[in-house]
Structure 1
Amino acid sequence: MGIRVRKNREFTLLAAGLILLAVSAALQMMARRTAWFGPWYASYIYPPISAAFARFFGLFPFSVAELLIYILFLACLVYGIRHLKDWKKMAAGTFFLISALFFIYTVNCGVNYYRRPFSNYLEYRAGRYSKEELEELLGWLTDEVNASYTETGLQTKDGIQREAVRAMNKLGEQYPQLSGYYPIPKPLLISRILSVQQLSGIYSPFTVEANYNAEMTPYNIPHTVCHELSHLRGFMREDEANFIGFLACIGADDAEYRYSGCLMGWIYAGNALAEVNHGSYAGYWNRLRPEVQEDLRENTAFWERFDSKVSKAAETLNNTYLKANSQTDGVRSYGRAVDLMLAWYLSGEAQQTVAGGGTS
């Protein structure tokens, strides 16, 4: 009787795993091979699912995803030791676990890589720009960074987290595609896990949580949490998440958020200009307030501490992940946020933001 029950359990786990895997594969295939499924799913299926996940896991003040990773690791270790000789049961359990995780990933994240990009909802379009236009943008950002400078890191953790929700809700009033429920972003209990990978934040599709690295230079945090929260709305492209984070921060009521958005925008545009004309870039660097320059030096020193084989392996893994989800430029897609910022600036949106009180 005991052997029959055990075999039934193994069969049930295998059958359930195969069903979840088949459904996940079908969803992925439909999203990749049809033009309509991704946008339809993102508009009608994903929102209620993600809202339910976000509201439930948002009840917890800590990162549930992080805790689950530790619990899962220990559970797998104990399970493996207990069933070391029963390889069939171990294989069935492992297969079901992987299938379940892949299914959750697919419904909460994977299909969204094939939705309409955020840029399609904008009234302006990114294109090709001259060096002079890039310099004009960087000059504007330099003035805004200097004007919005504040002593970062003075807010309480709760204040930083809740301001992110307010900033994203405010941006959602302008772009309906970004409206909806936002849970507070959460720092990892052991942020060093992200630091050694040179990551500032991470979105968990398994719990629909926006997690951030609490160890990094404070000015990084506001833009990072808004970036991660944009993934909750189904916008998975990293360049667009950077741009959404930029818009949310510079339009925020909080001075630290505006400073973070302006400075991150300055970094993206500055790096782009440095590749074209380093001498011109140096001129804009010299125009920054000494306090801003010190923030940038502190940030560089922080990440250089973790420049190792681990961080390079993490970058390679991230690059492979992005390409697997049809972001063909891999990690280079992070730099394309500059094109969106240029289109936004040249359309006159920047001046309207300033006139509306978004920045100082």
Structure 2
Amino acid sequence: MILIKFQKAVAIKIKTIYKKKRFWAGILLAQFLLFFMCSRSGGMITFFNRLFELQKKIHLSLFSWIPFSAGDLFYILLGIVIAYLIIGCLIKSKRQQSLLRILVLINLLYFVYQIFWGMLYFQTPIIKKLPSQKEPDYSKAKRLALRYLEKCRQTRQEVHEDKNGIFIVTDLKAIQKEILKQQTMLPDYISGKEAPQINSFKPSIFKTVMSYTGILGYYNPFTAEAQYNSQLPSTFLPFTSAHESSHQLGFAREQEANFIGYLIGTQSDNKELRYSTEYFTLKSLLNFIVQEDPEFVKYVIRNYSPAMKRDRMYEKMFVWKHQGLLDDFFGFTNNLFLKSNQQEGSVTYSYFIDLLLNYEK
């Protein structure tokens, strides 16, 4: 009898502890410390890489066949739950319970995110797998810019355009299939990751909002879907798809995903994918060079082909049309997110350029 009473008392005590906000706040702090220590361990990073390869296959098999974005639906439902809990916080009788549920939800989301994706930011950087150079080589960047100018001029002649002379993508499915094929042909010393060859590219439900935030696409770590903004100009669309597919492979850092997308696109026989990638590479090189030699950048832009100039103007019109407070806000928050995950800000091209120059070396 005494033992039964003791067990009941312990059970009540544990239940009471679980209902305390301090307990869940402590669990969240413990998670921060745990994953921080894991990020400093090579063995744990290897473990999370292997875990990602396993869950990647499972997620792709579970969600790729769904014709719409399951990840977007998850975010909508999550937004509804969060809104409900916030409203509960405003009601005095429900405040404590709602705050507790918010803490539990934060703990759960943070844990799942770190397990599925967050720890990949700490894997060995690609830059360490390439020959290194001490300082940015602007002269080499200029030579590459001129080379990619000629590549763009040539490839642009071989793609389709609309009645206004603007480049258009004619077969996005073929581009996606080509991206998956090129994933299997990446150099082993750079990638070494498994390419399941499962198409899980999804147009985002939030395409209009994305257009006003400057977001071209994103990877959903909860469903392994590569989301893209279907309203983008065609010059953006193929390379954005290659970039997001690089996240699917397991490259978390943004500029490394750009580099993998560059390898995928420039080696492709698909002219639409190749033009979009070459054009992205050229723009990135010019953005890198402009502070050092703005006159050179003006010279290169003047030597765009007439068709490339039309594409450039259409891009500028698209960006101008969708500029606003949302764009500024999301640019700011994205910079904070990138820097919190061992990355440079979203407007910095130097790491991608370092990778590009070292690879070309």
Q: 1:274 to 1:77 in 2, by over 3 A?
A: closer
Shift of 1:256: 0.5
Report the 3-state secondary structure (helix = DSSP H, G, I; strand = E; otherwise coil) of the residue aligned with 1:116. coil
Q: Aligned to 2:208, which of 164, 184, 192?
A: 192
Q: Distance in 2 between matches of 1:22 and 1:37?
A: 23
Q: Is the counterpart of residue 64 in structure 1 residue 70 in structure 2?
A: yes
Q: Is the 8 Å Cα contact of residues 235 and 276 (structure 2) preserved in structure 1?
A: yes
Q: Is the 8 Å Cα contact of residues 85 and 99 (structure 2) preserved in structure 1?
A: no
* Structure-2 residue corresponding to 1:45: 51
| Residues 1-360 of structure 1 aligned to structure 2 (within 5 Å) | 11=18, 21=28, 24-32=31-39, 34-37=40-43, 39-77=45-83, 84=91, 85-122=93-130, 124-149=131-156, 150-151=159-160, 152-171=167-186, 175-181=190-196, 182-327=198-343, 329-345=344-360, 347=361
Q: Larger C-alpha radius of gyration, 1 or 2?
A: 2
Q: Is the 8 Å Cα contact of residues 88 and 98 (structure 2) preserved in structure 1?
A: no
Q: 1:79 to 1:238 in 2, by over 3 A?
A: closer
Letter of the 2:148 counterpart: L
Q: Deviations over 1:64-106 (max 9, x none)?
A: 1111122222344456668953334323322222211111110
Stretch of structure 1 that moved more, 287-296 or 52-61: 52-61
Letter of the 1:330 counterpart: G
| Identity among equivalent pairs (%) | 22
Q: Is the 8 Å Cα contact of residues 23 and 103 (structure 1) preserved in structure 2?
A: no
Q: Deviations over 1:153-179 (max 9, x none)?
A: 342343343333223233366744243
Q: 1:258 to 1:56 in 2, by over 3 A?
A: same
Q: Distance in 2 between matches of 1:262 and 1:315?
A: 25
Q: Is the 8 Å Cα contact of residues 161 and 184 (structure 1) preserved in structure 2?
A: no
* Structure 1 gap ranges (5+): 348-360
Letter of the 1:228 counterpart: E
Stretch of structure 1 that moved more, 49-58 or 186-195: 49-58
Letter of the 2:168 counterpart: G
Q: 1:258 to 1:333 in 2, by over 3 A?
A: same
* Structure 2 gap ranges (5+): 1-10, 161-166
Matched positions, count? 339
Q: 1:22 to 1:177 in 2, by over 3 A?
A: farther
Q: Is the 8 Å Cα contact of residues 112 and 235 (structure 1) preserved in structure 2?
A: yes
> Taking structure 1 as the reference length, what is the TM-score of the superposition?
0.83
Report the 3-state secondary structure (helix = DSSP H, G, I; strand = E; otherwise coil) of the residue aligned with 1:199. coil
Shift of 1:42: 4.2
Q: Is the 8 Å Cα contact of residues 195 and 306 (structure 1) preserved in structure 2?
A: yes
Q: Is the 8 Å Cα contact of residues 38 and 116 (structure 1) preserved in structure 2?
A: no
Q: 1:129 to 1:102 in 2, by over 3 A?
A: closer
Letter of the 2:74 counterpart: L
Shift of 1:8: 5.5
Q: 1:176 to 1:52 in 2, by over 3 A?
A: same
Q: Is the 8 Å Cα contact of residues 193 and 250 (structure 2) preserved in structure 1?
A: no
Aligned-residue CA RMSD in angstroms?
Answer: 3.0
Q: Deviations over 1:123-144 (max 9, x none)?
A: x335424432121111111111
Q: Distance in 1 between matches of 2:136 and 2:83?
A: 54
